[in-house]
Structure 1
């Protein structure tokens, strides 16, 4: 890998770490960057999942204030995320031919969930209509293992609907739980998937730096504009992926 690509991957990692910890959409930056350096879609996806492991470490270092008292919650949800991540990774290896067609639709669902969070929260709070959060974490873990991009959007949407707390806390907990899902998938990918390890290293270092800085920025960012910006960015990513499919 040449120096230009390494620098681009590092910069993409910084942007991904910032976006992930602030907005729940880390792969809005990292996945397109991996495609831009010439890595095929499925290989870019599994490489992305491995590189993003450092985001959880950076979040842990930079969000101690938000993570205080959240250990039990994170551990309990992480068990479901790990199970889902393993299932999603296996699913990807079995259905990789359909990968590029399915993913944009899943991203749009995540964007819609964030745009309509308040109506969803009211609906979610009605008796008999609240899907268990662990079940939703497991399902999103499957999605995260299948395709890393926008898994954070979906998890952030579910956690934001299910709990009333500052966005900074939700973001930090989301990043740790999603990190567990990524870890499970990444271990499997390391043995059975086409991970581009030369791309993982510079991107992972960038993700570590960006995710360490991100929590401090979240504390100073108004919640509603940030949530809308996340959703708009997700729709942009979906449009980009559709364009990639139909431009062939």
Structure 2
């Protein structure tokens, strides 16, 4: 890896961390950067998962109080779902055909983006009640996908948490980085043992991702909630189109 490639990955990691925390679309920045420096698709996917552990680490360093002061029982259950889902997703990636999710993922991302747009109306129809068990099941599924590939997993997570809980989009963004960070971490550990991780690119991008993730919480707290929701939804639709075209 050349110095220019290392700087590219460091920069891409920073913006992946920042964009990932704010919108949940880190892989839209990081994955193409890894392909650009010559990694083949599966190796880029595995290396991307390892590098993006830095987003959760950086965000947790700047928002740990919000995470660990949350409802303890829910946090334990949801963290368990993330860990199990991330491991299952990692196993699927290394064992299943590379294009096994290609046909359905764009529709899942678009559905999540639509749910974000309609979230106030859906919450009103649900009369604002919490459904933590429904969220736990959805989180498990999202974490499986996150361990497998992950592009758009943050959008799916935000849509689910805003629909099934009464939390604000700011707290949902914080919990997204923590819980999906756990699924990334477990998948990364599995890939470190079993997968084709390219460690120098992963470390370069991961260093940038830590800084970007750390910068994310203050940005989210300053952006109006409706603007943030619409921005994430628009980016989600864009990602869905990109995933469909690039299959």
* 2:183 is the counterpart of 1:144: no
- TM-score, with length taken from structure 2: 0.89
Cα drift, residue 102 of structure 1: 4.3
Q: Distance in 1 between matches of 2:196 and 2:70?
A: 35
Q: 1:68 to 1:185 in 2, by over 3 A?
A: closer
Q: 1:41 to 1:32 in 2, by over 3 A?
A: same
Aligned 8 A contact 2:9 2:201 in 1:
yes
In the other structure, the counterpart of 2:45 is 45
In the other structure, the counterpart of 2:185 is 183
Q: CA RMSD in A?
A: 2.2
* 2:39 is the counterpart of 1:29: no
Aligned 8 A contact 1:113 1:157 in 2:
yes
Q: 1:66 to 1:2 in 2, by over 3 A?
A: same
Q: Distance in 2 between matches of 1:36 and 1:115?
A: 33
SS of the residue aligned with 1:109? helix
SS of the residue aligned with 1:96? coil
Q: Distance in 2 between matches of 1:232 and 1:198?
A: 33
Cα drift, residue 166 of structure 1: 2.5
Q: 1:27 to 1:221 in 2, by over 3 A?
A: same
Aligned 8 A contact 1:21 1:59 in 2:
yes
In the other structure, the counterpart of 1:160 is 162
Aligned 8 A contact 2:142 2:157 in 1:
yes
Cα drift, residue 15 of structure 1: 0.8
Cα drift, residue 124 of structure 1: 5.0
Q: Distance in 2 between matches of 1:101 and 1:3?
A: 37
In the other structure, the counterpart of 2:215 is 213
Q: Distance in 1 between matches of 2:89 and 2:185?
A: 12
Deviations 1:64-89 (A, max 9, x none): 45335126233321101111111111
Q: Distance in 2 between matches of 1:130 and 1:74?
A: 10
- Return 5+ residue gaps in structure 2 as ranges: none
The number of aligned residues is 244
Cα drift, residue 135 of structure 1: 1.0
Q: Distance in 2 between matches of 1:40 and 1:122?
A: 46
Deviations 1:206-241 (A, max 9, x none): 110011011011111011121111122222223333
Aligned 8 A contact 1:28 1:233 in 2:
no
After the TM superposition, which residues 83-94 of structure 1 pair with which residues of structure 2 at under 5 Å, given as runs? 83-94=84-95
Cα drift, residue 33 of structure 1: 1.6
SS of the residue aligned with 1:39? coil
- Return 5+ residue gaps in structure 1 as ranges: none
Deviations 1:76-112 (A, max 9, x none): 2110111111111111222233244444333223322
Aligned 8 A contact 2:82 2:180 in 1:
yes
